[in-house]
Amino acid sequence: MDVSDRRLQAQLSQEAKIATDFYYIRAIFAFAVFVSALRPEAFCPEPSDH
């Protein structure tokens, strides 16, 4: 394995890590949206009678 192969391997593993991190961020965001959709008052509070 020469230097260019090693550099390419490092770049690919870095891109794979970024893609994995992005996947987890999207999953967490989707979960947060789902939870807030179950509780609509979190974003649109009902006007109180007081």
- Asked if residue 20 belongs to a domain, the reply is yes
- Asked if residue 19 belongs to a domain, the reply is yes
Give the range of the structural domain holding residue 31, as residue numbers without chain letter: 3-42
State the total domains in the chain: 1
Residue 12 has pLDDT above 90, yes or no: no
What pTM was estimated for this model as a whole? 0.53
What pLDDT is attached to residue 39?
76
Q: What angle do CA 15, 33, 29 make, to 5 degrees?
A: 15
Q: How far is CA 31 from CA 34, 38, 40, 44, in A?
A: 5, 11, 15, 19
Q: Which residue has the higher pLDDT, 28 or 44?
A: 28
- Distance, in Å, from the CA atom of 24 to the CA atom of 43, rounded to the nearest integer, reads 24
- Distance, in Å, from the CA atom of 25 to the CA atom of 16, rounded to the nearest integer, reads 14
What pLDDT is attached to residue 21?
93
pLDDT confidence of 48, banded at 50, 70, 90? Answer: low
Instruction: Name the residue among 28, 8, 27, 26 with its Cα closest to residue 16.
Output: 8
Q: Which residue has the higher pLDDT, 19 or 1?
A: 19
